Amino acid sequence: MGLLFSVILVALALAFFAAPLWSWFVALAVFLLGFDASILWWIPAIGLGVVFLIKEIRVRLITKPLFAVLKAKGLLPKISDTEKTALRAGDVWVEGELFSGKPDFKKIFANPYPKLSTEEQDFIDNEVNEVCAMTSDWEVFEERDLSPEVWKYLKSKKFLGMIIPKEYGGLGFSAYGHSCVIEKLASHSQVLAITVMVPNSLGPAELLLHYGLDAQKKHYLPRLADGRDIPCFALTEPEAGSDAGAIRSEGVVFKDEDGEVKIRLNFEKRYITLSSIATVIGLAFVLKDPEKLLGKGEDWGITCALVDAKNKGIDQSKRHDPLGVPFVNAPLLGKDVIISIDDVIGGESGLGCGWRMLMESLAVGRGISLPSTSTGGSKLAAYVASTYAVVRYQFGLSIAKFEGIAEVLGRLGASTYILDAAKTFTLGAINAGEKPAVANAIMKYQSTEMFRKNIIDAMDIQGGAAISMGPRNLLAHAYFGAPVAITVEGANIMTRTLIMFGQGMIRCHPYAYAQIEALEQGDVKAFDTLLFSHIGHVTRNKARTFVLGLTRGYAHPAQTKGKARRYEQKLAWASARFAYLSDVALGLMGASLKRRESVSGRFGDVLTQMYFITAALKRFDIEGSKESDEVFLEVAVEDAFGKIDLAFSGILENLVSGMLAVPFKLYGWYTRLNPMGKTIKDKSLHRIAVAMCEDDSVRDRVCGNIYMGDRLRELLEATHKMQEVKELLVNEKKGERLTEGEKRTLKVARDLQHEIITVDAFEHDAYFSRTTVKKA
């Protein structure tokens, strides 16, 4: 028994510390010598050593036959050319560490954290505040557009050219500066934010900066920067939504009457923001050359071009109505629209390169635009809910004192804290020149989902005031916009079930993609090296999963200290189990893994929560590990670990069926007995609620960078007044006599309270005509 225990302990140590293959045979030899083993033990041991340690023999006897079987049976995922382009777009960043099973937290936490430049901060404090002050969101919805004055201001102050370098007349903002502008605009008006966001996202400016010819840049970028040209980018079609590679818009190469080579475009696009007012249309289409005029075959693939909206055959006459949110969104039609090769982004060198351009641009853009609007909306929701809860009284008490309200406020505060952390963490990478494709897909998905839940929580706290439309309502318009964000830049269901883990497993895994490439190229020797490295990787992660599970993560030597230390240890444990089960799933399912979307989605859930925990730990450290922030970190991180537990349970329950499922179900039973997360205490949620309602400094930190319009300032003033008169209200309720000064103070507070809880009501004519109305 002692011998068996010793063997297991040594094997576990070798696996846990990823000892090289030869060390296993050294350990085996030591055991055989130590126990004076007979020749009958030595012969197979030496034979195995020769087979596994001498590469030429190993390749001939093991790798080559396995290689042939894998290739013949197609057991590893096949990757099309379009998928390869998508996979190669962007970089592997922190996601790769989480996929490794042994994340290097020292390296992770050394990543830069972004700050605004003086110029960016000045712009936010001045121009952004000014355009928010000019914009009545209620009037925007009533008039179905921004005012002419706001449009003029956006153009003159170069809001539409934030990403365009100064040399071309733009503002040249960093990704973080760009994000903070969008975030603040979103806290005041979703329409304003979207209008500014789109020209600074995937579109003509972005594509020209990376792929345009010098002449194209010099012509278009200054005009886009100052608003002389309004851009749109037309990608989505009736038959190609999330599946952008399936677009049917066609460009056919031909010679015109003068013998010049031109392209004839026919397209039907939809859901295109700014398209009905655009003067420059970025267009994605499939290029065909049936007469081979370009000299390189007939089918060129997806191509991107800039099309003058004045061209004959373009129809910009219609509008969509996305849930009543009146940003410009419309279908775009083109029949026999003629452009030249010079209109293609990149000219001749850009022909057929559109798919790569799109994937590389989306690899970055997903991490900026929608996370910014979602964070701005979430901060608004948290701010409104926490201040309104102080002002609103029921049963003689501020509703902030009710446990049910405090529970929701606590959830909302923690959610906003971790969302802002993840957004900022990601933008630090983008600012530093990284293009973390998988992290950006995670951010697009998770930020929009969190905003959808956060706005509902805030509206639940406001109750009837949240559903009564009018200028006083700060949340309804943001609520209308929440589902819109879910659908764009890759619908969320697809992002969760296909991209985050499906592409992440291939792109971020240390060996998977390289093995597939070696298999495709017939490189047996490269495959051999990768295969045995992969086996070592799986063995190590199995051992780490066992040891970290047995010790509940305490076996991990954490880099962080204090409150964050324990969370880092559990994150290391989660990463080990995630990496191990990912390889088990790949081994069991092979090429069919990407079709098991429900399982893939749950792996994506684990990856998402690990990424957000990492970001929260980084934020907590960067901001000085404040004691007042500990409870926000606790609730946010424990909630994330709870979701990780739930996802792992679903994976183990559904990974395989039949008798093979038995060990996985038993392992699932064990993981439920030994969960990573802890039940969130009511006390912790209540502490967050108290901090958000009563401590301006905490609320301002969690909800920073929102626009304080008149209604929000009134709400804050009423909050302060109602806090000041708490004792007077208690004394009044007890029947105690109040002085005249106390009565006046109480009246001021109640007048402010009444103004805040009052909802809008309209005259019948105004209601039915849907014209702009003032406060009732």
Q: Hey, which residues are catalytic here?
A: 489
**Strand locations in 1-109, DSSP E?**
none
The closest of 495, 507, 418, 431 to 95, measured between CA atoms, is 507
Cβ proximity of 346 and 672 under 8 Å: no
The closest of 373, 327, 383 to 711, measured between CA atoms, is 383
**Pairwise CA distance, residues 201 & 721, whole Å:** 43
**Pairwise CA distance, residues 290 & 298, whole Å:** 5
Cβ proximity of 114 and 431 under 8 Å: yes
Question: How far apart, in Å, do the first and last CA atoms of the chain sit?
Answer: 84
**Pairwise CA distance, residues 21 & 48, whole Å:** 12
| Cα of 110 vs its chain's centroid, Å | 21
C-beta neighbour count of 732 within 10 angstroms: 15
What is the identity of the amino acid at 398?
Answer: S
Q: Where are the alpha helices (DSSP H) in 590-704?
A: 597-622, 630-654, 661-673, 682-694, 696-702
Cβ proximity of 776 and 760 under 8 Å: yes
- Cα angle for residues 181, 187, 189 (degrees, 5° grid): 95
Q: What is the DSSP letter of 62?
A: I
**Pairwise CA distance, residues 709 & 720, whole Å:** 17
Please give the C-alpha separations between residue 293 and each of 131, 258, 260, 262, 306, in angstroms, as whole numbers. Answer: 51, 15, 10, 10, 21
Tokens read off for 259: 């013998």
C-beta neighbour count of 43 within 10 angstroms: 10
**Pairwise CA distance, residues 224 & 691, whole Å:** 45
Is residue 69 packed enough to be buried (19+ CB in 10 Å), middle (13-18) or exposed (0-12)?
A: exposed
Cβ proximity of 440 and 363 under 8 Å: yes
The residues, any chain, with a CB within 8 Å of residue 581's CB and separated by 6 or more, are 603, 648, 651, 652, 655
C-beta neighbour count of 715 within 10 angstroms: 23
The closest of 18, 9, 4 to 533, measured between CA atoms, is 18
